[in-house]
Amino acid sequence: QVQLVQSGAEVKKPGSSVKVSCKATGGTLSSYSISWVRQAPGQGLEWLGRIIPILDITHYAQKFQGRVSFIADKSASTVHMELSSLRSEDTAMYYCARDKGGTLGSWLDPWGQGTLVTVSS
Amino acid sequence: QSVLTQPPSVSGTPGQRVTISCSGSSSNIGSNIVNWYQQLPGTAPKVVINSDNERPSGVPDRFSASKSGTSASLAISGLLAEDEADYYCSALDDSLNGVVFGGGTKLTVL
């Protein structure tokens, strides 16, 4: 049973970049598509995009185009999410999750435990 | 402002049946599957309904869902205290070419 384990909390300055990792255990990451979703404090869920590691294909939400990138390290069964030009509004819990159905818009299961990114001067 | 519209809150007493609505448009709910997620306090979301009305293994049959046109709804019957959580609907939006979520509905069990 695959599980997704994310890297630890980060505190960043405005204008800098952050990199969050998502490692698959109990299965091969290459077989899956991984989506990234964030949740600002007290707010709802927001989709950032997804990556298909086995094909190295990425798909970014329009809002984050040019500011977010996903990279797959297939040998380490790990996907990295990098968000640049950070501002206070990027303070949120960031989750990775598997696209269970395989296609864009399919359900997300399982989810990582989340990584809190705090942007503060 | 979320692309999918949900009521901010609903409530019910133990044993009751509650429904949570999710309103969208022809570019999302009207043409793609709807998925529902439950988020307990301090935890990651968990899927409770996928593909409009399918219940994943392990989800109690008290959870059901339906879809008609550009709207969908999640129903929880035999309400339990442990059902108190935030619930989100989600679908692919063809116009935005991305996944969208509802704003979330907080279910309170009185």
* Average pLDDT over chain B, rounded to an integer: 97
Interchain proximity B99–A113, CB inside 8 Å: no
Q: Quick one: tokens of A119?
A: 């942007």
On the question of a cis peptide bond just before residue B56, with omega within 30 degrees of 0, the verdict is: no
pLDDT surpassing 90 at residue B56: yes
A47 closest CB neighbour out of B47, B56, B101: B101
Q: Quick one: tokens of B65?
A: 């869902």
pLDDT score recorded for residue A26: 86
User: Which of these, A52, A109, A48, A95, lies nearest to B100 by C-alpha position?
Assistant: A48
Q: Measure B99 CA to nearest chain A CA, in Å.
A: 6
Q: Residue A63: phi, psi to the nearest 5? A: -60, -30
A107 closest CB neighbour out of B35, B44, B96: B35
* DSSP 8-state symbol, A103: S
Using one digit for the tens of pLDDT, what is the confidence trace for A72-89? 998 899 999 999 999 999
A61 pLDDT tier (thresholds 50, 70, 90): very high
Q: Measure B35 CA to nearest chain A CA, in Å.
A: 6
Mutation target vs B (from A45, A94, A111, A116; most B CBs, 10 A cutoff): A45
Rounded CA-CA distance A117/A95 in Å is 11
Interchain proximity B50–A107, CB inside 8 Å: yes
Angstrom CA distances, B84 to A12, A24, B17, B21, B73, stand at 34, 30, 13, 16, 17
pLDDT score recorded for residue A30: 67
A103 pLDDT tier (thresholds 50, 70, 90): confident
Output the CA torsion B89→A45→A23→A120 (10° steps): 180
B75 forms bridges with which residues in the sheet?
Answer: B19, B64
B1 pLDDT tier (thresholds 50, 70, 90): confident
A98 pLDDT tier (thresholds 50, 70, 90): very high
Interchain proximity B50–A61, CB inside 8 Å: no
Q: Mean of the pLDDT values across residues A9-37? A: 92
Amino acid at B57: S
Rounded CA-CA distance B14/B81 in Å is 7
Interchain proximity A44–B104, CB inside 8 Å: yes
Amino acid at A78: T
Using one digit for the tens of pLDDT, what is the confidence trace for B14-51? 999 999 999 999 999 999 999 999 999 999 999 999 99
* DSSP 8-state symbol, B29: T
User: Which of these, B95, B24, B31, B45, lies nearest to A100 by C-alpha position?
Assistant: B45
Rounded CA-CA distance A47/B105 in Å is 18
pLDDT surpassing 70 at residue A2: yes
DSSP one-letter string for A14-40: TT--EEEEEEEESS-GGGS-EEEEEE-
